[in-house]
Structure 1
Amino acid sequence: MLVFSEGRAADPLRVARESDEAAAAALVARVHPGSTVEPAPGESLWDGTYPPDGACYAASFEGVEIVCDRRLMEHRPSRMPPHLLAAARRDRVFFHVMHSVSDALTFAVWEGGVLVRSLSLSPDSGIVENIGAPYEFEAPFWAGARPVKPDPWWGEDQPPYPLAFHPLELGEEALRAFAGFVLEGRLHPDDVDADAVPLHGFRVTDPNGPDPAQVWAELEQRVAAMRLRSHTTIQFGANRGQDGA
């Protein structure tokens, strides 16, 4: 997800009920230059952060614009293609990606075109990118106050979680801090009602690019293979321990 805003995105999102469809389509065209952009069924912000293959949800409100597209997951913030930042036409850019299958989180913030914070990490890859000073909402996580508790379903001999905190828990706090809403967890009284924020739907096709469904299927296969290797290593280590080797 990319959120383009002037200052706090939460303020205009609290009253956002009708998006400019033409402006949203133009935004999608800037995000996907050279691609064919066609209207498709829309969604609410609550349900639209994870669009289907080849789909893109977007909205343009007074003071804030949003693009939700799974193809954005491919980008590392420090290497963000310039056209994506230029698509904003606003002072602040917030980039947010979470993937529950791999417990992966990436979020970044640009102010006036300058990258001021970027964090990308997962249990399998570790910390991939950590640029800029952490925000205040990150402090408890880095201080060890939000550790991952052992899952009783895994048994007593499970290894500790590879990171000091769960990336998706931090991801929810980042989402609240810069977009004003969360997807999971306890709601705050002043959280944005994401279910009331409409997004337009678009089908985006790159005439010179690979089929989006095939690309995503290959990505899912790679993630599944990584998790299988990780689980096999854990089981192997546990078996060796039981054998006294």
Structure 2
Amino acid sequence: MGAKDSLICYADGDVASVLAGRPELDRAATEALVRRLFAGEVVTAAADGTLGEDANPGAGSVFAAVWPGVSIVCTGRVGLDRPSQVSARFLSEGVGRTVYVHAMHSVVDWFAMGIWGPDGELRRALSISGGDEEILEDVGGRLEFEEPFWSGRFPATDEDDDEDYPFPFHPLELSEAALDHLFGFVMEGYSGMTSASRVDPFDVVLAGFRLSATAR
């Protein structure tokens, strides 16, 4: 699997229902959100992108969208080994809403997610790396969609494989399941999918921005 992402989502309700309606992004609200999150840096409008192509932007880029009830910001600054340590400025933006962080990187078989309730309390944080054979963070109760993976229903290796995998599932498989259940889209799919995801991420338009340091 070669998909990568690093995003934070602010939601008033079901994210998938909003994205499935293919709403038009509010450009003024999107730019205002990016400027708030990256205050102190120069924010310049750039070409649009899509959630499928630009969910893992480089250090000097941000892709974002604000729709009624949902906002998504793609930035490498939320892709942390320990999602519970996401900067307070990103979390304070979501006060009164559910906040989701999702990140994955195929090179090290790494996946992380974080979920905060409208009260700002951390509900779930998980970070797991197959490359390092380590669970970097595991906070809060497991979500329903996680259980089949932890129970071994979707093993990372075949029964006749001579090599043992450090976990009862592949982290990127669980990562895709998280995308599906939390946001209604997948990048490449996963074991146990019962139907096509509701949203094609390549149809979800995001506004692009460049970041640069302010002159001193």
Pair in the same fold by TM > 0.5: yes
Q: State the TM-score, normalizing by the size of structure 1.
A: 0.77
1:107 to 109, 113, 118: 113
Cα displacement (A) at 1:189: 4.2
The alignment covers a number of residue pairs equal to 204
Tell me the equivalent position of 2:201: 194
Distance (Å, rounded) in 2 between the aligned partners of 1:125 and 1:72: 22
Aligned partners of 2:186 and 2:197 also within 8 Å: no
- Mark the structure with the bigger radius of gyration: 1
Distance (Å, rounded) in 2 between the aligned partners of 1:89 and 1:36: 25
How do residues 1-245 of structure 1 correspond to structure 2 at under 5 angstroms? 1-74=7-80, 76-112=82-118, 113-123=120-130, 124-149=132-157, 159-185=163-189, 188-189=195-196, 191-207=198-214
Q: Which one-letter code corresponds to 1:105 in the other structure?
A: F
Q: Which one-letter code corresponds to 1:139 in the other structure?
A: E
1:9-58 Cα distance to aligned partner (Å, 9 max, x none): 11111113311112111111222221111001111112121223411100
Q: Which one-letter code corresponds to 1:106 in the other structure?
A: A
Aligned partners of 2:10 and 2:97 also within 8 Å: yes
Aligned partners of 2:81 and 2:127 also within 8 Å: no
Distance (Å, rounded) in 2 between the aligned partners of 1:179 and 1:129: 22
| SS in structure 2 of the partner of residue 145 of structure 1 | coil
Q: Which one-letter code corresponds to 2:198 in the other structure?
A: D
Distance (Å, rounded) in 2 between the aligned partners of 1:165 and 1:74: 21
Query: How large is the RMSD of aligned CA atoms in angstroms?
Result: 2.1
1:118-175 Cα distance to aligned partner (Å, 9 max, x none): 101102051111111101100111111111115x9xxx75x31122211110011111
Aligned partners of 1:3 and 1:179 also within 8 Å: no
Aligned partners of 2:80 and 2:86 also within 8 Å: no
Tell me the equivalent position of 2:4: none
Cα displacement (A) at 1:90: 4.7
Cα 1:184/1:125, change in 2 over 3 Å: same
Farther-moved stretch of structure 1 (197-206 vs 71-80): 71-80
Q: Which one-letter code corresponds to 2:185 in the other structure?
A: F
Structure 2 stretches lacking a partner, 5+ long? 1-6
Distance (Å, rounded) in 2 between the aligned partners of 1:72 and 1:36: 19
Aligned partners of 2:43 and 2:212 also within 8 Å: yes
Distance (Å, rounded) in 2 between the aligned partners of 1:175 and 1:161: 23
The structure that is strand-richer by fraction is 2
Q: Which one-letter code corresponds to 1:130 in the other structure?
A: D
Q: Which one-letter code corresponds to 2:86 in the other structure?
A: M
Distance (Å, rounded) in 2 between the aligned partners of 1:144 and 1:200: 40
